[in-house]
Structure 1
Amino acid sequence: MAQPDVLQDKVRHLIAQRLPPRSQQLQIDIGQPAARISACESPLPYLVHPEQNVFGRVAVGVRCEGDEGVAGYLQVSVRAVGDYVISRQRIAAGDVVKADMLEIKRGPLERLPKGSVLKPEQVLGRQASRSFSRGAALALNNFRERWLVQRNQRVVLQARGAGFTIRRDGKALDNGSLGSSIRVLSTDGKLLNAQVVGQNELLLRY
């Protein structure tokens, strides 16, 4: 039979490896493990959603050493203190984020909204899709790559092929960030797909 403290220590170690820099794990609660997990002599916990933050409610799976199957799952509660990003000033929808708009705050991470911004570089240069009041915690899914082309704007189309380059005007039918593909209406009425390569500049390839 696995001792509860052995399982808890292994889960604590797993969580500690994935916490953001300068964070401190305060408390972890693995709840009441299922009988099959408790019967595992050498439990091997893993994160069910490794791309997600490891504070608040965290889903952890448990395998037994030497057994390919999953012994069960835990809903782990993690309390931690660490750094996160808040708005230093009001950020309006459509604003491109600059360093002086942000500041670092330290506090309980488990109280943050899901997908909160923990490092300024996650949103610098990106465009806000909604407004934030001063002092608000920021969620990553509320920021997108900055639009270099906006719907209904006039754009320049570059057509490149073997030994030629042609430039002509068009009208964007979608918003687009650097590298994205959008629909464009050319001056002769043709519907085209082109790649965003700069401010109001699109590239057609033949």
Structure 2
Amino acid sequence: MRFLRHFSLAILLSWAFMPMAGASSSKHTELMESVHQFLYQEAHALGNEVVINLREPSPHLPTCTNPEPFLTNQNKAPLGRVSVGVRCGTDSRQVRYLQADIDVIGSYMVAAVDIERGAQITPDMLEEADGNLGDLSSRAITDSDDIVGKIARRPIASGTTLQSHFVEAPHLVERGQRVRVIAQGAAFQVSREGEALEDGAMGEDVRVRFGSREVLTARVIERGTLMVDF
């Protein structure tokens, strides 16, 4: 069955790249091939099998020379319905937009067991599943490194697709804890002890109080230690 699925996707991929017949197809050949290649490179990092259905621009539009494709939404993975911008011409002043549907077959993480709220995620709690990543939530986790060591914010049933908002980084600083704050510059480094006024995970900013009035914000760099950069 896996062989048949791969074979079918290979056929779909070859169809997706076949130019349409007619004058308009040859007119936009360079544009279509450039956008196809760009989208494939962007999406291939997500999975091993990529199928792209790119809508051809109107035949009434002028030819796009020296096409330079770009994603209109850099913060969104190239999955599902995608808008692609293309700069045309030697000066790249002319910009047009194309629509594409992208399916990527890849792996994602699901819970191998029931996970209780507050549990720290370990590798044996996870397993991989294969499917069309475009059918998943944009918050679905595809890499175990993005979840191992984090804390479950809610109960997670076995078989559930893991999503980023289900977990949070463990706190390395607790509210009310005595912490060390390092102030570091180009030619100096000093440290002081203060009281954390809020919880904080790795890389988060936390307010720290020194004495009765002085409060500053520092970045968590390890358990019980924060840093202020100058």
Q: Same fold (TM over 0.5)?
A: yes
Equivalent residue number for residue 21 of structure 2: none
Q: Does 1:147 align with 2:171?
A: yes
Structure with more contact order per residue of length (Cα contacts < 8 Å, sep ≥ 6)? 1
Q: Deviations over 1:22-50 (max 9, x none)?
A: 42013x22235256756325543222234
Give the % identical residues: 25
Equivalent residue number for residue 173 of structure 1: 197
Equivalent residue number for residue 95 of structure 2: 71
Equivalent residue number for residue 136 of structure 1: 160
Equivalent residue number for residue 20 of structure 1: 45
**Count of aligned pairs:** 201
Q: Structure 1: which amino acid aligns with 2:132?
A: P
Q: Does 1:39 align with 2:26?
A: no
Find 2:148's aligned residue among 105, 116, 124: 124
The Cα shift of 1:201 comes to 4.4
Q: What is the distance in 1 between the residues matched to 2:158 and 2:92?
A: 50
> 1:37·1:43 contact (CA, 8 Å) conserved in 2?
no
Find 1:80's aligned residue among 104, 111, 123: 104
TM (norm. structure 1) is 0.74
Equivalent residue number for residue 62 of structure 1: 86
Unpaired runs of at least 5, structure 1: none
The Cα shift of 1:191 comes to 4.6
Q: What is the distance in 2 between the residues matched to 1:204 and 1:54?
A: 37
Unpaired runs of at least 5, structure 2: 1-23
> 1:53·1:115 contact (CA, 8 Å) conserved in 2?
no
- Partner SS, residue 68 of structure 1: coil
The CA RMSD over aligned residues, in Å, is: 3.5
> 2:180·2:191 contact (CA, 8 Å) conserved in 1?
no
Q: What is the distance in 1 between the residues matched to 2:62 and 2:115?
A: 49
Moved more, 81-90 or 42-51: 42-51
Q: What is the distance in 2 between the residues matched to 1:142 and 1:115?
A: 9
Q: Which structure is higher in helix share?
A: 2
Q: Deviations over 1:87-141 (max 9, x none)?
A: 2223445443221222111111110111422211122223344443322223335
- Partner SS, residue 215 of structure 2: strand
Closer, same or farther: CA 67–112 of 1 in aligned 2, 3 Å: same
Q: What is the distance in 1 between the residues matched to 2:123 and 2:85?
A: 39
- Partner SS, residue 127 of structure 2: strand
Equivalent residue number for residue 15 of structure 2: none
Q: What is the distance in 1 between the residues matched to 2:31 and 2:192?
A: 65
Q: What is the distance in 2 between the residues matched to 1:8 and 1:205?
A: 48
TM (norm. structure 2) is 0.68
The Cα shift of 1:74 comes to 1.9
Equivalent residue number for residue 29 of structure 1: 53
- Partner SS, residue 148 of structure 1: strand
> 1:117·1:139 contact (CA, 8 Å) conserved in 2?
yes
